[in-house]
Chains A and B, each alone.
Chain A
Amino acid sequence: MMSGVEFPLWAALPAAVLLVAGGLFTLVGALGLLRLPHFYARMHGPSMGTTLGTGCVLVASMLLSSALAGRPVLHELLIVLFVVLGSPVTAMLLMRAAIYRDKARGRLKEE
C-alpha cells in the first residue's frame, strides 16, 4: 500500500484527520441531496459538502505531496481556486433557473 512510501508523522496525522473529515462532509452533503424534501432544500447539501470536503481533501493532498517532495508543493491550490470560484456560481445559476422554471409553471407564487 501507498507504494511503500513512509510519510513523516507531522504530515501523515493531519492528513489522515483531514481526509476523514473531508469524506464525512462530502458524504453528508450527498445524503442531503438524496434525502431532503424539495429542490430548494436539496440545493444546500452539495454546495456545503463539495466546497468544504474538497478543501479538506486538497489540503491533505498538498501536505502529503509536500512531505514526499521535501519542498512545498502548492499546485493543488489551482483545484481549490476552481472549486471555490465555481461552486457558488453554479449554485446561484441553478437556483435562478429553478425559480424561473417554477414561476413559469405557476408552482411558485409571485412575490
Chain B
Amino acid sequence: MSMVLDYAVWFALLCFITAMLFALVRLLHGPAAQDRVLALDTFYVNGMLTLLMLGVRSSSQAYFEMALLIALFGFVGTVALAKFLLRGEVIEPW
C-alpha cells in the first residue's frame, strides 16, 4: 500500500515543481508589475507545498515549521508589494 502513496507523493512533487517553473516564467517576463507579484505569490505557495511533500516523505516535523513560516512571511510580503503597487509607499508617513 505504501507503494501507491509513494507514487502519489512523487506525482504531487512533480506537479508542484512544474507549477513553480510556470510561475517562474511568468515572474521573469510578466508584462506588468502586478503579473510579477501574482507570479511570486504562486511561486511561494508552491514552494511551501513542495516542502510539505518533503515532510510527508521523510515523516519529519521540521519541514512543517518551515512551511508555516513561508506561508506567514509570503502573505505579508505579497500584501506589502500590493500596497506598494497601489500607493507607491509601503508604510506611509503622516
**For residues 77 through 101 of chain A, which have their beta carbon under 8 Å from a beta carbon of chain B?**
78-79, 82-83, 86, 89-90, 93-94, 96-98, 100-101
Contact between B5 and A7, CB atoms less than 8 A apart: yes
| Chain B contact residues, majority secondary structure | helix
Give, as a whole number of angstroms, the nearest-CB distance from A65 to chain B. Answer: 8
CA distance A5 to B22 in the complex (A): 33
Number of contacting residues on B, CB 8 A?
Answer: 53
| Chain A contact residues, majority secondary structure | helix
Contact between B59 and A15, CB atoms less than 8 A apart: no
Tell me the B residues contacting A by CB distance below 8 Å: 1-2, 4-9, 11-16, 18-20, 22-23, 25-26, 32-35, 37-39, 41-42, 45-46, 48-49, 52-53, 55-59, 64, 67-68, 71-72, 75, 78-79, 82-83, 85-86
Tell me the A residues contacting B by CB distance below 8 Å: 1-3, 5-9, 12-13, 15-17, 19-20, 22-24, 26-27, 29-31, 33-34, 39, 42-43, 46, 49-50, 53-54, 57-58, 60-61, 64-65, 68, 75-76, 78-79, 82-83, 86, 89-90, 93-94, 96-98, 100-101
